[in-house]
Amino acid sequence: MTSRAFIAGCAGPNLSATERSFFRDAEPWGFILFARNVADPDQVRALVADLREAVGWMAPVLIDQEGGRVQRLRPPHWTDDPPAEAFGQLYLSDPTAALEAVRLNSRAIAADLYALGIDVDCLPCADLRHPDGHGIIGNRAYGTEPVAVAALARAAAVGLMEGGVLPVLKHIPGHGRAPVDSHEKLPVVTATRGELEGMDFAAFRDLSDLPLGMTAHVVYADIDPNRPATTSPVVLSEVVRGSIGFDGMLMSDDLSMGALAGTMETRGRDALAAGCDMLLHCNGKMEEMEKVAASAPVLTGEAYARAAKALSLRVVPDPVDARQLRAAVAAQLKTVG
């Protein structure tokens, strides 16, 4: 199997002939789905199968299914799940119950995804919630303290992996203090490196063994005032691979986001040069995907090894009753008063 170091989206609920041809030739390592790609379970299963057929192997298929504001699968065919904050609130009064609830919730999410053929979820979000941070994180955070956030994020990752779905730790090394939405503008965080190491980065340090991670399009001015983490060799080497110790496969956040400058080729090359293993491009626009593909080399070396190690952790899960799991989660969350 030969793949190139990028993950691609597609434009709609079905593959066009142009997309099939492009994916066959460009050989992306994986794919990511959004709400525009989702109609009903049969359609999603067919799309997932078509994506894999285009590249000729069991390529990973990603989705953002966190619960709360960020979930691509929604009623009437799927369930609206609680945001991370709900589990953080339970943790304050009953840590044991909160950890079990978050694990069961993720196990239920994994059951939904696995039934569709989706085997990677961009969860957990280990960003801390900060009062001065932009609401783009908000209730997607498990809390404000790194020990609690790391414990809850770990439980979420375990639930996914038990269900045959790989977790993606995000947004390394921390998006919670970002004063603006990185989908629109480049956030600059002015906290000192010491503050960040003791708080924001600490939550990720306790999760450094997870198989997949996603960068933050955030400038940490006390570490590298000129480049966001995604394209900063200093942040990725000294912080992500260094003090945090993350050794999983590291993908960029979406290259099409407004936080980044330059052409798609430049963004891709800068992210890879900084130390990302994989490029992520989400919007499904063919003219942009072609440019990202042009900047993405064949996956080799350490990046290949990390990607292969992650995929080796995919398992065939035991069957569960997702409704029953969600009922247990709801019962626990009702105790938060």
Q: Is there a contact between 246 and 254 (Cβ–Cβ < 8 Å)?
A: no
- Beta strand pairing call for 61-63 and 28-33: parallel
Cα separation of 75 and 92, whole Å?
Answer: 30
Cα Rg of the chain, angstroms: 19
Q: Is there a contact between 201 and 150 (Cβ–Cβ < 8 Å)?
A: no
Question: Which residues have CB under 8 Å from 86's CB, separation 6+?
Answer: 68, 139, 333, 336
Backbone phi, psi, residue 258, to 5°: -70, -15
3-state secondary structure of 303: helix
By CB atoms closer than 10 A (0-12, 13-18, 19+), residue 306 is buried
CA atoms within 13 A on the CB side of 142: 32
Residue 166 parent element (H or E): strand 166-167
Cα separation of 40 and 317, whole Å?
Answer: 23
Query: E-strand spans in the chain?
Result: 4-8, 28-33, 61-63, 65-67, 70-71, 120-121, 166-167, 169-172, 188-189, 212-215, 219-220, 249-254, 278-280
DSSP state of 173: T
Tokens of 98: 């909160």
Which residues are designated catalytic? 183, 253
Tokens of 155: 């439980």
Q: In terms of Cα–Cα distance, which of 243, 240, 239, 289 is closest to 267? A: 289
Q: Count CB atoms within 10 A of the CB of residue 181.
A: 16
